[in-house]
A and B are shown apart, each in its own frame.
With several copies, the nearest count.
Chain A
Amino acid sequence: MSLQVETQKIGTTLVVRLNGELDHHTAELVRQQVDQELDGDVFKNMIVSMERLEFMDSSGLGVILGRYKKVSQHGGKMALCAVTDSVRKIFELSGVLKILPLYDSEARALTEMGEA
């Protein structure tokens, strides 16, 4: 599979690290794995870390917005971090950056979420 999804629980925040290529084919993986975590545990917030995401198209945007809806329905916050230039462009075009904060690094995102 061309995408690896790594999840880690830090305090009440779920950190999701994406490694590889996120498209319609691999979006299903993210949906399943993240929802399993979200449904099984009481997380408040979520950070999506994209340092090693080499490719993302609008299907990736869709799955991230879908998780954002879930998290905010439960009163949680969500943040993105460490995106490459081309991925940033897709977030910018969609206006997502008006609702989702984007941080340079995972550490910074964790601090802002109050987890560090």
Chain B
Amino acid sequence: MMENFMRLEFSGLSANESFARVAVAAFVSQLDPDLEELTEIKTVVSEAVTNAIIHGYEGQAGNVVVICRIEGQTVEIMIEDQGQGIADIEQARQPLFTSKPELERSGMGFTIMENFMDDIEIKSELGRGTTVRLVKTIRSAQVLGH
């Protein structure tokens, strides 16, 4: 069974959103995901990292951490910030809910994460930060019997 680990920490700059997607996709590619699975993973990483930058740090300096663990065909991705935190997680998860409509946020970030991954867990503490844990089992390689 394959086991692998990586931890990525970077400045909370919007230029790093694409970098984070590419890095996670390169790490996960050892599980032979198909293009759809890979795009889904890139999308959710983009959502959570963007949230850390916009909502967590609100334009202030701060680092974002992305941790990936592979066990067998399953990848666990954690995205962490030490920013504002979320007051009401229930509300934040509602489709179309956003606290920053003035920034033209769509409020669909968490809904996309829920839909594209098998599992999502959100931990947050006001003033201390937020951790989003996402889990997905890559099925394409299994079908091919790798």
Q: Which residues of A contact B (CB under 8 A)?
A: 2, 21, 23-25, 27, 31, 55, 57-59, 61-63, 65-66, 85-86, 89-90, 93-94
Q: Are A58 and B14 touching (Cβ within 8 A)? A: no
SS of A interface (majority)? helix
Those 4 A-B pairs whose CB atoms lie nearest each other, nearest first: A25-B14, A62-B106, A66-B104, A58-B108
Closest Cβ–Cβ distance, residue B35 to chain A (whole Å): 8
* In the assembled complex, B74 has its CB within 8 A of some CB on chain A: no
CA gap between A90 and B43 in the complex, in Å: 10
With CB as the reference atom, state the residue of chain A lying closest to B111. Answer: A93
Q: Which of B14, B54, B115 contacts A93 (CB 8 A)?
A: B115
Interface centre among A21, A23, A25, A57, by most chain B C-beta atoms within 10 angstroms, is A57
CA gap between A66 and B100 in the complex, in Å: 13
Q: Which residues of B contact A (CB under 8 A)?
A: 14-15, 17-18, 21, 36, 39-40, 42-43, 46-47, 50, 53-54, 95-96, 103-109, 111-112, 115
CA gap between A23 and B109 in the complex, in Å: 12
SS of B interface (majority)? helix
Report A-chain residues with C-beta under 8 Å of the C-beta of B39.
55, 86
CA gap between A65 and B111 in the complex, in Å: 17
Given contacts A21-B18, A24-B17, A55-B42, contact A93 B50 (CB under 8 A): no
Q: Are A58 and B106 touching (Cβ within 8 A)? A: yes
Given contacts A24-B17, A24-B53, contact A58 B47 (CB under 8 A): yes
Closest Cβ–Cβ distance, residue B136 to chain A (whole Å): 15
Q: Are B111 and A62 touching (Cβ within 8 A)? A: no
Given contacts A57-B47, A57-B50, contact A86 B36 (CB under 8 A): yes
Closest Cβ–Cβ distance, residue B124 to chain A (whole Å): 19
Given contacts A57-B112, A58-B112, A94-B96, contact A23 B104 (CB under 8 A): no
